[in-house]
Amino acid sequence: MNKVKRIPVFKSEAKERAFWEKKDSSQYVDWRQANPVSMPNLKPSTKTISLRLPESLLDSIKIEANKRDMPYQSLIKAWLSEKVQGSRQA
Q: What is the pLDDT of residue 45?
A: 85
In a domain, 40, yes or no: no
In a domain, 11, yes or no: yes
In a domain, 39, yes or no: no
Report the domain count for the chain: 2
In a domain, 6, yes or no: yes
In a domain, 41, yes or no: no
Residue-wise pLDDT tens digits, 38-89:
888 888 888 899 999 999 999 999 999 999 999 999 999 999 999 998 887 7
Are both 1 and 29 inside the same structural domain?
yes
Flag whether the pTM goes above 0.75.
no
Q: What is the CATH number of the domain that holds 87?
A: 1.10.1220
Residue 69 belongs to domain spanning:
48-90
Q: What is the DSSP string of the chain?
A: -PPPPPPPP-SSHHHHHHHHHHS-GGGT--GGG------TTPPPP---------HHHHHHHHHHHHHTTS-HHHHHHHHHHHHHHHHHH-
Residue-wise pLDDT tens digits, 1-18:
568 899 999 999 999 999
